[in-house]
Structure 1
Amino acid sequence: MRVAVLGAGAMGCLYGAALHRGGADVMFVDVNAEHITAINANGLELERRSGTEQLPIPAVRPEDLQGPLDLVLVFTKTFMTDTALTGIAHAIGPDTRLLTLQNGLGNEQRLAAHADEARVLVGVSSLPSDLVGPGRVRSHGEGGTKLYTAFPSGDPAFAEEVAALLTKGDLAAIADPKIYEAVWSKAIFNATMNPLCALTLRTPGFLGAHEESRAMIRAAVDEGIAAAHANGVMVNGQAIHDLTHVSVTDHADHEASMLQDVKAGRRTEVDAINGAIVTAAKAKGVATPLLETFWRFVKLEESKLAGE
């Protein structure tokens, strides 16, 4: 399988490495020149609890990507999806599948603007990963991956093939027909933990150590569960609560992506995460005051960082 990982950040590198180990022909695609140069010069350095690997996976700029591809794994920021896919349109053939493992809701619709719905897959990851320097990624923590066809016209066999490749590459993955329960569950988790980390400038371990934040975590998750149920997605609420506990314990030192963005003065994905949940909840007459407050405060933080 010929795979392009579009967005070679921490998560993109983690998954590209797994697909490489699983036997796929992988190419990283990014616009960070220093990162690309380091990967091509020394290979990708991936540090996990099991040890550190140096993986010879090539990296290119979008305009240098050669097609056609069997799969494009999209790991860009949600607000960059259209631009990024347009930048590699020349390498997307009539049989190329697009898979999003991005944060938030609505990513499958963005991909469907660049490929037939039958060739769009959607998934979620519960793994942590941090970019520690050009060409260097660290992932300390356990988790898994679920993916499936995004629309009824898709081929489940291809989703199963990708899941098998990831599992063979030592990242456990399954093809799950109830994928939107997983997508919503991850979005609810992110809408709770990411803004709290970003607004306190602390990792999950700090949040778990204080009753004030523990109470907000419980309440925010409950709001998200209500929003999902109102939209006909019957998420398992206790499983989301359990995942927040894993976050503040096993992933205590992990820097959430929104925290990394705020620290770096970058735009966050809060619109696709909190904003999407709040909007979906309002459409069904469900109030999500805490999740909306998180959304508005992070937007204020973005305005401050942008000098507005």
Structure 2
Amino acid sequence: MRKIVIVGAGAMGCLFAARLVEGGHDVTLVDVDESRLAVLGRDGITLSDDQGKRSVPVKAMVAPKVIGPIDLVLLFTKGMHSADAVRSVAHLANGKTFVLTLQNGLGNADIIAAVFDPNQILMGVTDVPADLTLPATVSSHGHGHIWIGNYVGEAAFCDSLRAVESAFNHSNLATEIVSDIRVPIWEKVAFNAALNPLATILQVSAGRLSVQPARSIISAILTEVVVTAKAHGVTLDQASIIDKVNFALANQKDHKPSMLQDRIAGRATEIEFINGAIARAAQEKGIAVPVTETLANLIRVMENRE
């Protein structure tokens, strides 16, 4: 995986771009914000992590200017921008280019499959920390992990998965292949569905959710997600997810979930790819998820959606 295109120059996109460049890969950052691209192309990415602070040069351009062949396209846009992002790099879909989504929520790989061969799609999830403080400055302190797998089939194109795993691990991005990637994806969706909209509706940081009324709502959502996932053939360990929630509430008290940050900034949230997606998945199986759906509807009201 020597030639890599990263679509989405936010915090995660910039972090992965910088780490992969330092790992010896040819990386191009793609975004729709041409002013940010100009800054990134001119100044590079200022990366601050546990190894110190340094500047990492990176190529940055709008999607139509990217010329193949490309080994890997890495998608890091918000879910509501996935369709436009994938279409913007459709000219790279030559049957050899693999696409990896590490985006939040459910359904992003399905959107990619409308443009790229499903056999070329990889998907995963990450808890690597990243914060964008300036247009070209990203910080990442502490440890995080990346889990990846196939969009279709457990054993298909393992060579490509291993190539991505190797490229990431050699670039200070701790990565592991899992046989059923749906499990960690659903686990993160459950975590986000329980905390993000609740913090957004209440306009509070994570620590304020560590009270019994909030915990009752959180528990109800986790139960609804576990039941829904099971109906779709994915078995989740609810106790493990609760442990992660408890850790977040105790150790990330001042953290504002990305959904709350989006709402404060006046941006659209990813509610349709988190609680909304869970509600639709439950409906497919005739399962009632009233708490999950209520939070989704409250966020829709806040966003003035129809």
**TM-score normalised by the shorter chain: which range applies?**
over 0.9
* 1:153-208 Cα distance to aligned partner (Å, 9 max, x none): 84122112212222222221101111011111111111112112222223323323
| TM norm structure 2 | 0.92
What's 2:248 paired with? Answer: 247
Q: Which secondary structure state, in structure 2, belongs to the residue aligned with residue 238 of structure 1?
A: helix
Report the Cα distance in structure 2 between the residues aligned to 1:20 and 1:254, rounded to whole angstroms. Answer: 29
Given that 2:64 and 2:88 are in contact with CA atoms closer than 8 Å, whether structure 1 keeps it comes out as yes
Which position in structure 2 is the counterpart of 1:133?
134
1:288 maps onto 2:289 in alignment: yes
Contact in 2 for aligned 1:128/1:251 (Cα 8 Å) = no
**Alignment partner, residue 203 of structure 1:** 205
Aligned-partner SS, 2:263: helix
1:29-75 CA deviation, whole Å, 9 max, x = no partner?
01123322222222111223443232111211122222221110011
Q: Which residue type is aligned with residue 174 of structure 2?
A: A
Gaps of 5+ in 1: none
C-alpha distance 131-200 of structure 1, shift in aligned 2 (>3 A): farther
Show CA shifts across 1:249-299 (max 9, x none).
444443322112111111111111111111111222322221111101111
Question: Equivalent residue for 1:63?
Answer: 64
**One-letter code of the match for 2:157?**
D
- Assess, with a 3 A threshold, how the Cα gap between structure 1 residues 157 and 105 changes in structure 2: closer, same or farther: same
Which position in structure 2 is the counterpart of 1:267? 268
Supply the distance in 2 between the matched residues of 1:21 and 1:240 (Cα, whole angstroms). 33
Distance in 2, Cα, partners of 1:218 & 1:53: 42
Confirm or deny: 8 A CA contact 2:63 2:89 kept in the other structure. yes
The equivalences for 1:1-308 within 5 A come to: 1-152=2-153, 154-208=156-210, 210-303=211-304
Tell me by how many angstroms 1:86 deviates. Answer: 1.5
> Could you list the runs of 4 or more consecutive aligned residues of structure 1 that deviate by over 4 angstroms after TM superposition?
none
> Closer, same or farther in 2 for the Cα pair 1:22/1:236, shift >3 Å?
farther
Structure 1 residues 202-228: Cα deviation after superposition (integer angstroms, max 9, x where no partner): 3323323x3332332222212211211
In structure 2, what residue type is equivalent to 1:199?
I
SS at match of 2:139: strand
Q: Secondary structure at the match of 1:148?
A: strand
Deviation at 1:141, TM superposition (A): 4.2
Instruction: Tell me the amino acid that sits aligned with residue 176 of structure 1.
Output: V
- Asked if 2 retains the 8 angstrom alpha-carbon contact of 1:117 and 1:154, the reply is no
Any conservation in 2 of the 1:5–1:28 contact (CA below 8 Å)? yes
CA distance in 1, matches of 2:252, 2:228: 26
8 Å contact from structure 2 (residues 90, 116) kept in 1: no
Determine if contact 2:189/2:274 at 8 Å carries over to the other structure: yes
Unaligned runs of 5+ in 2: none
Q: Deviations over 1:78-124 (max 9, x none)?
A: 12222112222233333111111111112211111111111000101
Number of residues of Structure 1 aligned to a counterpart in Structure 2: 304
What SS is found at the alignment partner of 2:128?
coil
Distance in 1 between residues matched to 2:252 and 2:140, nearest whole Å: 10
**Per-residue deviation, 1:22:** 2.6
Kept in 2, the 8 Å contact 1:14–1:46? The answer is: yes
Letter of the aligned partner of 2:162 in structure 1?
A: E
* Backbone CA RMSD of aligned residues: 1.9
Q: For residue 275 of structure 2, what is the amino acid of its counterpart?
A: N
Q: CA deviation at 1:146?
A: 0.5
Judge conservation of contact 1:230–1:284 (CA < 8 Å) in 2. Answer: yes
CA drift at 1:132: 1.4
Task: Label 1:7 to 1:112 Cα distance change in 2 as closer, same or farther (>3 A).
Answer: same
In 1, distance between residues paired with 2:199 and 2:67? 39
Answer whether contact 1:68 1:92 (CA < 8 A) is retained: no
**1:118-141 Cα distance to aligned partner (Å, 9 max, x none):** 100010112232221211122344
Any idea what SS the aligned residue of 1:303 has?
A: coil
Q: Percent identity?
A: 36
Residue pair 1:105, 1:187 contacting (<8 A) in 2 also: yes
